[in-house]
Amino acid sequence: MDFLELAVNRYSERFFDTRPVEQEKLDRILEAGRVVPTACNYQPQRFYVIRSEEGLEKLKSVTAFHYNVPLMILVCYDLRTVWRNPGDRYYRNYNSGEQDASIAATTMMYEAEELGVHTIWIRGFDSKTVADTYGLPEYMIPVMMLGLGYPNEKAHANAWHYKRNPIEEFVTEL
């Protein structure tokens, strides 16, 4: 499948089977998140793999959007290594952590898709609750969670997946 076809076909999965994701596939997915470009190549992205019974159970107390995933990757960035631009006049104390973590998350999402593993991008959580629940150090900033697994018999793309605005709304030639 070519990349654009993969991107069009990917949808947010919300119906997961209990079948675990194989270690070899998880390794490839994490590798995809490792090799991404980051600001100044500082590589502040950090991945917490949540798949133990205890870790997955805790998910239920940090997000309503856990969808009983068998595997979750909590994507964070490390404030100690992130690139900063204190001189940015739009964003006070700008750092590139959200961008660095998001490019890693996005790349992992598409690698998973390529391997036949479905995903859901989750941001519906309180960062402090996540940090406290999983005992993250204070310099570790949660950005998103990527739920991964195989689809169950109810799996389908919801209506939002088919609602995309026309290209003219996104593109302006200057």
Q: Interface with ligand FMN by CB under 6 A: which residues?
A: 11-12, 65, 120-124, 157, 160-161
Q: Which is nearer to ligand FMN, 167 or 174 (CB)?
A: 167
Instruction: Determine the residue with CB nearest ligand FMN.
Output: 124
**8-state DSSP, 13:** -
Q: What's the min distance (Å) between Cβ of 157 and ligand FMN? A: 5
For residues 64 and 60, what is the distance between their CA atoms, to the nearest angstrom?
Answer: 7
Q: Which is nearer to ligand FMN, 15 or 83 (CB)?
A: 15
Q: Which is nearer to ligand FMN, 60 or 123 (CB)?
A: 123
Host H or E run for residue 84 = strand 84-85
**CA-closest candidate to residue 50, choices 129, 151, 130:** 130
Q: Which is nearer to ligand FMN, 24 or 170 (CB)?
A: 170
Q: What's the min distance (Å) between Cβ of 66 and ligand FMN? A: 10
Host H or E run for residue 141 = strand 140-149
For 158, the token pair is 């919801």
